[in-house]
Amino acid sequence: MYADRLDYQFHLTTLNELLRVSKEEIRIFPLVDLGGKRYKHLDQLVSYLEENGCSVEEVKVNYEFQTNANSMLKIRKS
C-alpha cells in the first residue's frame, strides 16, 4: 500500500518476519498502492516466496476497501 514510501527490501524483510512469527499462514491486503495501482514488485515477491518453500495464492475478495483493492495474497508456509 505504501510502495511510494517503503521499498522492495522493506517489504521483503517484513514478509520474512511475518513468516517467522506465524504458525502457518499470512494474508496481505491490499495489493495496490494508494492510487489503486498493483504493487510493481508483487510478482518478484511471489517468486521469492515460492522459491523459499511457500505456497502463494492471490484470492479475490468480495469487498473493495479502495479502488482496485479487491484481492489479497494468501501465503502458506510449507
User: What pLDDT, on the 0 to 100 scale, is given for residue 13?
Assistant: 96
Domain layout of the chain by residue ranges: 8-76
Q: Where are the alpha helices (DSSP H) in the chain?
A: 8-21, 42-51
Residue 63 is classified by DSSP as -
User: What pLDDT, on the 0 to 100 scale, is given for residue 34?
Assistant: 85
Global confidence as pTM: 0.88
Percent of the chain with pLDDT over 70: 99
User: What pLDDT, on the 0 to 100 scale, is given for residue 64?
Assistant: 86
Question: What are 21-59's pLDDT values in tens digits?
Answer: 999 999 999 999 888 999 999 999 999 999 999 999 999
62 confidence band (pLDDT: 50, 70, 90): very high
